Structure 1
Amino acid sequence: MPDTSLPPGDGRIHASAQLHPTAIVSAGATIGPDCRIGPFSMIGVHAVLEAGVTIGSNVAVEGHTWIGEGVQVSHGASIGLAPQDLKYKNEPTRTVVGARTIVREHATIHRGSVGGHGLTTVGADCLIMVNAHIGHDCTLDHHVILANNVMLGGHVQIADTVFVGGGAALHQFVRIGRQSVIGGMSGVEADVIPFGAVLGNRARLTGLNLIGLRRRGFSRAEIHQLRAVYRLLFRSHGVFQDRLAQAEADHGDHPAVAEILSFIRSDSKRGLCRARRVAPLEEDDAEAQA
C-alpha cells in the first residue's frame, strides 16, 4: 500500500516539469521532476505530484491528494474531489494514488470522508479503466484492475491482483479478497473470498479464479486442494461453522487456505457472498477443467 503518512509537498514546481499554457496549477501545489500537465487541467493547492506523473487534458486534481511516481491520468478524469456524502463539510480528508497506476478517461476517485477513515487509497500498478468510479474511503491494494464503468460504493476494500469486470457495481463496505475475479455487470452485495470468482445480479460465487491461480504459479495439486476446500465450504451440507472448522483441520496448514479462512472469520459489515446452485454435471465439468 502507498504510505499514508507522507508529509505535505514543498509547494514547488520542478524546473523539468512541463505545464501546458492553459493548465491551472494553484500556488502551493507540488509538481515533481519530469511531470507533464496537459491543456485545461486544474491542479489544486494541496496536490502533490511525484516524479514523472503525466496528467492529460481537462483533468481535475483537488483536495489533499498525493499522486505517486509515474502515474498516468487520462483526459477528463478527476482525482480527490469531495465525497458524495451529505455529511461532508469540506474537512481535509485525503486521496493517495500509488506509483505507476493508470487512470483512464473520465474515471473518478473521491477523497475520504470523516465518517470513514478519511482516506481513499489506490495502490501501485493498478489500471482504472474508462468511466470507473472509486467512492470515498475505498482501499485498493496493488495490481487491481477495474474495467470500464465499474462502480465502487464508499468504503469498499479490494486486495491485490483483483479483476473487476465492466459495469460491475460493488455495494459500500464490501470486501474483495486477493486474486479474485468479479464478472462483468455483476451486482456484488457481500464479501468475496480470496481466489473466488463471482457472477450475476445479485452476484454469487461460481467457483475459484482458476485462470488467475494458474497465471500466478499455483500448481495443479495446490489448485485441487483449494477446490476441495471450496467444495467443503460452499457445496456441502451442514452448519457452515462446522464446515469452516473441518476445512481448518484438514487443510489449514496451506497458506492460501489459511488466507481464505482468515478472511471469512474477519469482521464484515456485508456478510459473505455464497455459492449459486449448480447442476452436478456442471460441477463435474468445472472439476475436470482444474
Structure 2
Amino acid sequence: MATIHPTAIVEPGAQLGDAVSIGAYSIVRENVRIDEGTSVGPHCVIEGHTTIGRDNRIFQFCSLGAMPQDKKYAGEPTRLEIGDRNTIREFCTFNIGTVQDVGVTRLGDDNWIMAYVHLAHDCQVGSNTIFANNATLGGHVEIGDWVILGGLSGVHQFVKIGPHAMAGFASHVSQDVPPFMMVNGNPLSVHGINAEGLRRRGFTPERIAAVKQMHRLLYRQGHTLAEARKAIGAMAPQAPEAAEDIALMASFLDASKRGIVR
C-alpha cells in the first residue's frame, strides 16, 4: 500500500504503486502514475500525463509535469516520462512535451539530478547522468548516457550532447558536443577527452587510445570536419576493440544539425 501524508492531495485517477510515499502538502494530479518504491517529498506538485518509474527519490519542492514554457502550447495531452532509480533533488522543474516534437519529455534510469535543474519540453535525457545544481536544458535537447553537466551550465535548445561527454562549471553549450569530449567555458571550447570518466566505466586502454585519436583528428590536426569524419571512419579496421566507440562517434557527427563545438 502507498503511504500518503494526511495533508497531501492525491486526485482520483492517479495510480500509485506499492510502497510509494507521498509527503506533506504534495499534490498528485489525476493523470499521474507512480510505480513501486518511489518516494515523493513534501510540497511537490506532480501533474500532467506523467509516468514515474520505480524506486525514485524525489525531494521537496519539485514541479514535475507542468505545461511547457512554449507559447504555442494549446493544452495538448503531451507527456513526461521518468524512469527508475533516479534521484531528483529540491526545486527541479520538468515540463511535458509539445506536439511540435515527439510530444514526450524523457528522463532515463539511474540519473543524479541536483537542485534547481530544469528539463524543458521535449528533452530526451539518457541514463546514469549527473546534472549539478542549476543546470538548465532548453527545449528539444538530447543528452546521452553518462553525461555530466557542471553547475550553472546552460544547454541551448536543439543541442545534442553525446554519451560520456562532460561540461564544466557554468558552460554555455550552444553547439553539439561529441561523445567522450570534455568541454568548458563561454564561449565553449574542448579541453580534451573525459579520460577519467571512461576509466571509471571500465574502458580498456585500447578503447581510450582510440578515443584520444578521434579527439586528435577532430581538434588537433587541422582537418576540416569532413576530413576528420572520413579519418575516424577509417580507424575501425585498425582498432577493432573500439569499433562501437568509433561507430558512435561517426553516427553522432553524421546526425549533427547545429554543428559540433570546434
Place the TM-score, normalised by the shorter chain, in its bin. over 0.9
Q: Which runs of 5+ in 2 are unaligned?
A: none
Amino acid at match of 2:39: T
Partner of 2:39: 54
2:192 to 182, 202, 207: 207
2:248 counterpart of 1:263: no
For 1:113 and 1:20, the matched residues in 2 are separated by: 33
1:95 to 53, 77, 80: 80
Residue 267 of structure 1, CA deviation: 4.3
Q: Deviations over 1:76-124 (max 9, x none)?
A: 0111000000111111000000011111000110010112211000001
- Provide the secondary structure at the position in 2 that maps to 1:148: coil
For 2:75 and 2:235, the matched residues in 1 are separated by: 52
- Provide the secondary structure at the position in 1 that maps to 2:54: coil
Amino acid at match of 2:4: L
The sequence identity of aligned pairs, in percent, is: 39
Question: Given the two structures, how large is their TM-score scaled by the length of structure 1?
Answer: 0.86
Residue-pair matches, total: 258
- Provide the secondary structure at the position in 1 that maps to 2:145: coil
CA contact (8 A) 2:217 2:223 kept: no
When residues 250 and 55 of structure 1 are mapped into structure 2, their CA distance, relative to the original with a 3 A threshold, is closer
Moved over 4 A (4+): none
For 2:56 and 2:235, the matched residues in 1 are separated by: 44
CA contact (8 A) 2:130 2:146 kept: yes
Q: Which runs of 5+ in 1 are unaligned?
A: 1-15, 275-290
Q: Deviations over 1:236-265 (max 9, x none)?
A: 124321222122113465221221111101
CA contact (8 A) 1:229 1:251 kept: no
Residue 225 of structure 1, CA deviation: 2.3
2:18 counterpart of 1:33: yes
1:162 to 132, 147, 150: 147
Over aligned residues, Cα RMSD in angstroms?
1.2
Bigger-Rg structure (1/2): 1
Amino acid at match of 1:36: S
Return 212-221 or 119-128, whichever deviates more.
Answer: 212-221
Return 253-262 or 66-75, whichever deviates more.
Answer: 253-262
Return 77-86 or 246-255, whichever deviates more.
Answer: 246-255
Aligned pairs for 1:13-32 within 5 A: 16-32=1-17
1:110 to 91, 95, 99: 95
